[in-house]
Amino acid sequence: MHAGAQKVTGADPASQTGLSGPEGQALGSSLGPLLQQICQGRLADIDWFRSTWQRGGAATGFSTWTFDTGESVEVMVKLPVGPMEQSWTMRLGAIEPIAWNDATSESIPTPRVVATGEALGGYDLSWVVMERFRGHPLISRLDRDAAIKIILAAADFQARALDTSPVTIPTSCLDYRSIRTRSLEALDHGMIEHEDRWAAALDRVGQRLDDLIACWESRPIDAWCHGDLHPGNAMWRRCQDAIKRCVLIDLALIHPGHWVEDALYLERQFWGHEELLGGIEPVEALARARSALGLALDGDYRELARARRVLLASAVPSLLTREGNRKYVERALEILEGDGVASADHANRP
């Protein structure tokens, strides 16, 4: 653990809460004074709110934090947070107070943390106090520059995560055979256009499914992946030198894998709307950003990306009730028909 942020302990843990919606916000309001007490007066009054993007019963509030030096900074309080999010937020963002405004501190690609704990008010409830970002996520004004900054932040994140902790081996993998079967079954429900083309494309996938799975599962496990890389999880940090730096938030889905997973996750968010990325190909852009940082590009990453892209596209019919729009679905079909190759007609390399 870094020495900068404080890890403090509240009352003895009892049980994990199942609160959601307004109950989660009420929980934050009721526990705010106790949290301020635990933080020994450094945390000012908390303005609790609930936004549309929050999951479950999480409560979030804005406040200020005063360091022992007397300097105050704007912070965001979040509770509860899951163990993965708390652990990685602390590991990647803990900063010595004296170095808060240093260029090195301001270059960190994740939120800087001032305090965190694992219990509060008799609950087994983790919480975190971290820097507040002004403005909206990058999705609100996405352009080529913002897309590039997200890619650079992803490379910085992967480098910092690797320095923080050695990569472990994943304990499970998706059952792509069952996913393809569910996609075929979805064609029988009349919910998808171009059923004949989809059936033919999924048949071709089936003929080489073993090779696709073998290719993907043989990938080097060489990185910590953010797991939820998209412009809605990216904010601008306005630094002392007036430069804006991209920061990745929501660290709840970090997992071990191959670095190309983050690039493909970002790419997939814009299937059918590639123009919103300003001509950026995420896989190639992240490969260049990693190379610039001296990070390895283990394996034939283009072949791995192609296999993963086909596997992801073949899952689209099975997920129609949860994700995707017409253009997204059509683009997934084009990817299958193009054998998983990212078309330059959709995204030109930067």
Predicted confidence (pLDDT) per residue in 193-204, tens digit:
999 999 999 999
Residue 347 has pLDDT above 50, yes or no: no
| CA–CA distance, 280 with 143 (Å, rounded to integer) | 10
CB atoms near residue 119 (< 10 Å): 18
Task: Kindly report the pTM of this predicted structure.
Answer: 0.89
pLDDT tens-digit readout, 113-157? 999 999 887 888 899 999 999 999 999 999 999 999 999 999 999
Query: Quick one: pLDDT at residue 162?
Result: 96
Beta bridge partner(s), residue 75: 63, 131
Query: What DSSP element (H or E) covers 8?
Result: strand 6-8
- Residue where one domain finishes, among candidates 79, 106, 131: 131
Look at 93-97, 161-165, 329-333 and tell me which has the smallest mean pLDDT. 93-97
- Residue where one domain finishes, among candidates 79, 110, 131: 131
Both 174 and 108 in one domain: the answer is no
Both 144 and 108 in one domain: the answer is no
Q: What is the DSSP letter of 108?
A: -
Both 312 and 328 in one domain: the answer is yes
Both 142 and 285 in one domain: the answer is yes
164 falls within a domain: yes
Both 236 and 285 in one domain: the answer is yes
| CA–CA distance, 246 with 242 (Å, rounded to integer) | 13
Both 102 and 149 in one domain: the answer is no
Q: What mean pLDDT is reported for the chain?
A: 87
Query: Quick one: pLDDT at residue 51?
Result: 58
Per-residue buried b or exposed e for 15-47, using 16+ beta carbons within 10 Å of the residue's own CB: eebebeeeebbebbeebbeebbebbeebbbebe
Both 330 and 240 in one domain: the answer is yes
Residue 172 has pLDDT above 90, yes or no: no
Both 73 and 100 in one domain: the answer is yes
Both 306 and 194 in one domain: the answer is yes
- Cβ proximity of 126 and 82 under 8 Å: yes
pLDDT tens-digit readout, 2-35? 335 665 533 332 222 333 445 556 666 788 899 9
- Cβ proximity of 8 and 117 under 8 Å: yes
Domain count of the fold of the chain: 2
Structural domain boundaries, residue 327: 138-337
Both 57 and 191 in one domain: the answer is no
305 falls within a domain: yes
- Residue where one domain finishes, among candidates 90, 115, 131: 131
Q: What is the DSSP letter of 121?
A: T
Both 101 and 47 in one domain: the answer is yes
Confidence of residue 290 (pLDDT cuts 50, 70, 90): very high
Both 13 and 151 in one domain: the answer is no
